[in-house]
Amino acid sequence: MSKPKNTIPNWKIKLHEIIYEADTATGKLFDIVLLILILSSIVLVMLESVGSIDAQFHDFFDIAEWIITILFTLEYIARIISIKKPKEYIFSFFGIVDLLSTIPKYLSYFFVGTHALVALRALRLLRVFRILKLVRYLGASHNLIKALKASRAKIAVFMLAVIIICVILGTVMYLVESNKNSGFTSIPRSVYWAIVTMTTVGYGDIAPVTALGQFIAAAIMILGYGIIAIPTGIVGAEFVSQEKKNVHLNTQSCPNCAAENHRDNAQYCYECGHILNH
Amino acid sequence: MSKPKNTIPNWKIKLHEIIYEADTATGKLFDIVLLILILSSIVLVMLESVGSIDAQFHDFFDIAEWIITILFTLEYIARIISIKKPKEYIFSFFGIVDLLSTIPKYLSYFFVGTHALVALRALRLLRVFRILKLVRYLGASHNLIKALKASRAKIAVFMLAVIIICVILGTVMYLVESNKNSGFTSIPRSVYWAIVTMTTVGYGDIAPVTALGQFIAAAIMILGYGIIAIPTGIVGAEFVSQEKKNVHLNTQSCPNCAAENHRDNAQYCYECGHILNH
Amino acid sequence: MSKPKNTIPNWKIKLHEIIYEADTATGKLFDIVLLILILSSIVLVMLESVGSIDAQFHDFFDIAEWIITILFTLEYIARIISIKKPKEYIFSFFGIVDLLSTIPKYLSYFFVGTHALVALRALRLLRVFRILKLVRYLGASHNLIKALKASRAKIAVFMLAVIIICVILGTVMYLVESNKNSGFTSIPRSVYWAIVTMTTVGYGDIAPVTALGQFIAAAIMILGYGIIAIPTGIVGAEFVSQEKKNVHLNTQSCPNCAAENHRDNAQYCYECGHILNH
Amino acid sequence: MSKPKNTIPNWKIKLHEIIYEADTATGKLFDIVLLILILSSIVLVMLESVGSIDAQFHDFFDIAEWIITILFTLEYIARIISIKKPKEYIFSFFGIVDLLSTIPKYLSYFFVGTHALVALRALRLLRVFRILKLVRYLGASHNLIKALKASRAKIAVFMLAVIIICVILGTVMYLVESNKNSGFTSIPRSVYWAIVTMTTVGYGDIAPVTALGQFIAAAIMILGYGIIAIPTGIVGAEFVSQEKKNVHLNTQSCPNCAAENHRDNAQYCYECGHILNH
């Protein structure tokens, strides 16, 4: 836990290269092995939850999980000792997820009460969040995230508006259908139904039976069908405006006045008229 | 109720600042307290409608509602006396909503018949509309509403077209499925089904059973899946054209001819050639 | 039926003005009355199909339908005699719809067998198509239709692709689920299910029960959720490119070279340099 | 199987023209006949799978399928002998599909055990994939495919993100609803439900019953309703940028400096100022 000094040992630099970077052959291999381990652990947790499969392969699942848990633990330790500032990793989002994905199995070893195990299963499932690491491997998501960030506020307003409309319409439907045995037994349930309908999910576990109820339901559907256009329009416009910046402008800088964002086929600087280099 | 004179007392100006503006610390505090009160009153109305919860906490709900109702009443009176032209507030949309959200509780005090109470519950629920006030606090919704207003007419035409298609297809389905015990008992019901299907909600409470009926249903689904593109395209195009105006043009005005809407990096006026100030 | 000569009587010109145009006060009144009649006739047909309502108001419905039928007949005759080339109207789409919306009631008068009446109800319902006339009154639909026409071919390809994918995936699901009592009893039914799922309608009357079936179903859903973007993108791009033409160009014509499509704030012709009129 | 020499016989050139091209009258006729055959074979396979229809027309289906199989075989042989490099066709995607669509019927002739037939029906269904050939006939799909290819990586990232979110939310729902008899019996099933809900399909075969479960479900729906905007925005932006290239630029080349991509109404080269030919 002692802070590494300025003269970092050679093996630490190598370990850091392998774990945190993907430029060398061993670095790439490490990433692929880790990816397979994460996916395996998720598949294991999933299969274990299926009663019939768990009954047959319980011992295999137990051993496999111990192996994966130990490997994850080793990786966690390696990450801490190979980085310059371990605290930044430990308290980062992925640092906490890494820790939480190893702890449950150890805890299940110490607390082997029948009741405690049920609760521990819950903790163990947090390991699923490890899959989020996959996003690290995707470079193409850059523009996606930029466009989402730019339209974040507008989408939040849209979602809030949808929730407000659903609360109002759910309340109206409760008044119309509450005494008809059609599932609208309370306002929260009616609001749940309004969300199910507005988002065009439509389970059918709750459905209006009165003529007026069906008329309002039809109105909600057409409204939901129409306003889906809004988030789409927002994000779409954001993408268009980003695409434009990417496609039509180049990264040249005027040798005279250092102006940037020249058109791709520009011969002269738009600012000072100086000829551009090619 | 007498109109305030030109020499407005100091406390009225202060009250107006607190209630209608959000620049001062007390103004912000007032808005946040009001927001919490509105959300609480909505949660109360919702929970009260759940039979099992209402049976247990009926007295608490009654007291809580009286407190909120009185606070809303005080706010309503404060709004009237602190504004210059009270009539404009009283007959505005939010003025009427504010009044309607306080009245029901008082009415329930005077008319305590068993039957009357059921109807009063309905009035009381209008308070839910108060949530609309939340929109006031959202600045980011400006562009959203502008784009919606600009594409309002086109979206109305689209929705009308969807309704017309659903009326025609619902009628056709009634002819095909009416004698098959599959729920298509009348044309309005079949039109309701067509809307449920076209908007891709799909409850499943009514579903075609004949081969021809399922063929037409499949056609409606693919149509509905395809034409969702239209409102999306309309609003999207509107957003793109607005984004363009926002991003690429600045708010400068030519010092010579007062022409506006210059490009962000323009050096000279596009109208008269005069150099622009920076 | 004799063709009107070149010297058209004055009352014919007036009748034409009232029926076919909407510039005069009487012309507008005619359109509004007709609109109300069409909507009334549709509501009548709908209500008549509801068993309980028809039993109570059968006589009223019969009289009301006779009145509307006679009024539609008079309108049909007026349209023929007031137009220069009646044949063009009679064999146009709306001419045929107008005729078909009046005939059924007369036929029901002559053929009053019990069996014949059932078939006639079907013909009578064609009157619903009259609602299509409403589109005439909507000016805002101009751009909508232009954008749709421009992207027609691409949307047809997309819909064909969706159908092909649904045929293939429906066949695969038939092989996986056919012996599991889960509703996949034949390939057409499985294809119907695939369309219900792909278009995100999701009735739930047919749903996979095997693990493999649910896995494939999940794949279809994510595919359907993703490819909805395609028609949306097509139409959206069309709208954007049309919007651009509408917003940024004006309808001026150069007084020197007659070039058109000038930018809104252009001072000089982009073609010959001549100053533009304002 | 011997490779055709450089001096190709005349009939082989003609056959190649008919089969692989569509410029001549016989070439077009061949394509149309083939299209009809493919569609007929698919309809046959579909109808055969419907128990009641197969019982009545079994012999007709058997004969019709033999005819189509023999015609497909002849086509397959003709394709091999008329092409210069048969191996490239045989091992191409459509070559393999063509072979697989003829084999099953021949196999069913040799292996006529009751059990074997059931498995053979499966192979026979592969013929459905032949419908993919239809895409060859569609020219309008060019831009569609180009836009899809350009946005392929981003859509893959989006779909992966949707799957990750569904795995996490499905796991959470399993913890919330697993003991409530509401169908969330295992994590894979819960993930399946999350996908059904997120993509707004909503079968309703599995639906939450607890208040917390319905709250999370509502959150998933609104999330799914909102993020549909992302693939739409990606593809839409791609289309817009492609449309721009198509619409606003022409294919002229400057006679002086050979610069391309001139605006449609350009008079002078944007690069060297030379006048353009018209």
What is the residue-averaged pLDDT of chain A?
A: 75
Separation between Cα atoms, residue D50 and residue C185, nearest integer Å: 7
**A257 in contact with B, Cβ within 8 Å:** no
For D203-228, what is the mean pLDDT? 88
Torsion, Cα D191 D197 D201 D203, to 10 degrees, reads 80
Q: Decide which of B170 and D268 is more confident.
A: B170
Residues 180-209 of B with CB under 8 A from C: 185-188, 191, 197, 200-204, 207
In the chain, the amino acid numbered A273 is G
What DSSP letter does each residue of B59-115 carry, written as one string?
Answer: HHHHHHHHHHHHHHHHHHHHHHHHSS-HHHHHTSHHHHHHHHTTHHHHHHHH---HH
Going by pLDDT thresholds of 50, 70 and 90, the confidence category of residue C204 is confident
- Give chain D's mean pLDDT: 75
Query: Does residue D150 sit at the A interface (CB-CB below 8 Å)?
Result: no
pLDDT attached to residue B127: 57
Handedness of CA A231, A234, A237, A241 (dihedral sign): negative
Give residue B259's pLDDT band: very low, low, confident or very high (50, 70, 90): low
Mean pLDDT, residues B179-186? 82
pLDDT band at A247 (very low <50, low <70, confident <90, very high): very low
pLDDT band at C150 (very low <50, low <70, confident <90, very high): confident
The first and second tokens of residue B7, run together, are 């020499």
Give me the residues paired with residue B172 across strands.
Answer: none
Chain segment A35-58, per-residue pLDDT in tens? 788 878 888 888 888 888 888 998
- pLDDT tens-digit series, residues B41-98: 888 888 888 888 888 998 898 899 889 889 989 988 998 888 888 888 888 777 777 7
C51, C144, C232: residue with CB nearest B157: C144
Residue D24 DSSP label? S
pLDDT computed for residue B74 by the predictor: 92
Q: How far apart are CA C80 and CA C12, in angstroms?
A: 11
3-state DSSP percent of chain A in helix, strand and coil, to 5: 70, 0, 25
DSSP D238-257: HHHHHHHHHHHB-----TTT
pLDDT, one tens digit per residue, over A170-193 is 888 888 887 777 788 888 899 999
Q: In the predicted model, what is the mean pLDDT of residues B196-201?
A: 91
Residue D236 in contact with partner chain B when CB distance is under 8 A: yes
A149 Cα to chain C: minimum distance (Å) = 20
The answer to whether the CB of D243 falls within 8 A of the CB of D150 is no
Q: Which of the residue ranges A261-265, B21-25, C241-245, D34-38 would you say has the lowest mean pLDDT?
A: A261-265
Interface test with D, best of B47, B232, B244 (most D CBs within 10 A): B232
B233/C232 touch (CB, cutoff 8 Å), yes or no: yes
Residue C240 at interface with chain A, using a CB cutoff of 8 Å: yes
Residue D104 has pLDDT above 80, yes or no: no
Give me the pLDDT at residue B133, please. Answer: 53
The SS3 of residue B263 is strand
pLDDT at D278 over 60: no
Residue A85: the pLDDT is 83
Averaged pLDDT, B193-216: 90
C with D: how many residue pairs have Cβ under 8 Å apart?
145
Residue predicted with more confidence, D197 or A104: D197
pLDDT for position C116 = 45
Confidence class for position C193, pLDDT limits 50, 70, 90: very high
Q: Is A200–C200 a contact, with Cβ atoms under 8 angstroms apart?
A: yes
Positive or negative torsion for Cα D103, D105, D106, D108: positive
Span C119-129, average pLDDT: 54
Whether domain A10-133 has CATH 1.20.1070:
no
CB atoms A164 and B204 under 8 Å: no
Q: How far is C50 from chain D (nearest CA, A)?
A: 29
- B26: contact with D, CB 8 A cutoff: no
Q: Which of B118-132, C248-262, D48-62 has the highest mean pLDDT?
A: D48-62
Q: Judge whether residue D197 has pLDDT over 90.
A: yes
Q: Kindly state the percentage of chain C with pLDDT values over 70.
A: 71
B169 Cβ under 8 Å from any chain A Cβ: no
Encode pLDDT of C209-227 as tens digits. Answer: 888 999 999 999 998 888 8
Question: Is B137 in a helix, a strand, or coil?
Answer: helix
**pLDDT value of position C82:** 85
User: Rounded CA gap, C21 and C28, in Å?
Assistant: 8
For the cut 60, the answer to whether the pLDDT of residue B134 exceeds it is no
Mean pLDDT across the stretch D142-167? 77
Collect all residues of chain D within an 8 Å Cβ-Cβ radius of residue C160: 134, 138
Burial of C278 from C-beta contacts in 10 A (0-12 / 13-18 / 19+): exposed
Mean pLDDT of B214-231: 88
Chain A residues with beta carbon closer than 8 angstroms to that of B239: 233-234, 236-237
Residue-level pLDDT at C114: 44
Q: In this predicted structure, what is the pLDDT of residue C4?
A: 47
Q: Is the ipTM of this complex over 0.95?
A: no
Higher pLDDT, D57 or B229: D57
Q: Tell me the pLDDT band of D30, cut-offs 50, 70 and 90.
A: confident
Residue A143 in tokens: 């523009």
Residue type for position A108: S
User: What is the per-residue pLDDT for B185?
Assistant: 87
Contact A46 D191 (CB under 8 A): yes
- Between CA D263 and CA D251 the distance in angstroms is 9
| B76 close to A (CB below 8 A) | no
Give residue C253's pLDDT: 59
Higher pLDDT, A125 or C183: C183
**Average pLDDT of the segment spanning D22-49:** 80
**Of D99 and D144, more confident:** D99
Is C155 in Cβ contact with B217 (below 8 Å)? no
Answer whether residue D253 shows pLDDT above 70.
Answer: no
In the complex, which subunits touch C with 3 or more CB pairs below 8 angstroms?
A, B, D
Q: What is the pTM of this model?
A: 0.78
The reported pLDDT for the residue numbered D265 is 53
Q: Tell if the CB–CB gap between C238 and B233 is shorter than 8 Å.
A: yes
The pLDDT-based confidence of B196 (bands split at 50, 70, 90) is very high
pLDDT for res A261: 52
With CB atoms and an 8 Å threshold, state whether B45 touches A167: no
How far C203 CA lies from chain D's nearest CA (Å)? 6
Q: So what's the pLDDT on residue D267?
A: 59
Predicted confidence (pLDDT) at residue B146 exceeds the cutoff of 50: yes
Mutant choice from A43, A230, A232 vs C, greatest count of C C-beta within 10 A: A232
Count interface pairs B-D at CB distance under 8 A.
10
Chain B residues in contact with C195 (beta carbon < 8 A):
218, 221-222
Please tell me the CATH code under which domain C139-244 is placed.
1.10.287.70
Quick check: B240 contacting D, CB < 8 Å? Answer: yes
Transcribe C154-214 into DSSP letters. Answer: HHHHHHHHHHHHHHHHHHHHHHHHTTTTSS--SHHHHHHHHHHHHTT---SSS---SHHHH
Pick among D232, D269, D272 to test the A interface (most A CBs inside 10 A): D232
Nearest CA in chain D to B47: D211
Residues of C within 8 A of D244 (CB-CB) are: 241
CB contact under 8 A, C241 and D242: no
Please judge whether D157 and A140 are an interchain contact, meaning their C-beta atoms are less than 8 angstroms apart. yes
Sorted by where each begins, the domain ranges of chain D are: 10-133, 139-244
Burial class from Cβ neighbours inside 10 Å (0-12, 13-18, 19+) for residue D38 reads buried
pLDDT digits (tens, 9 = 90+) for A77-115: 998 888 888 888 888 777 777 787 777 777 777 766 544
As a whole number, mean pLDDT of residues B4-22 equals: 73
**Better-scored residue on pLDDT, C96 or B253:** C96
Q: What's the N-to-C CA distance of chain A in angstroms?
A: 53
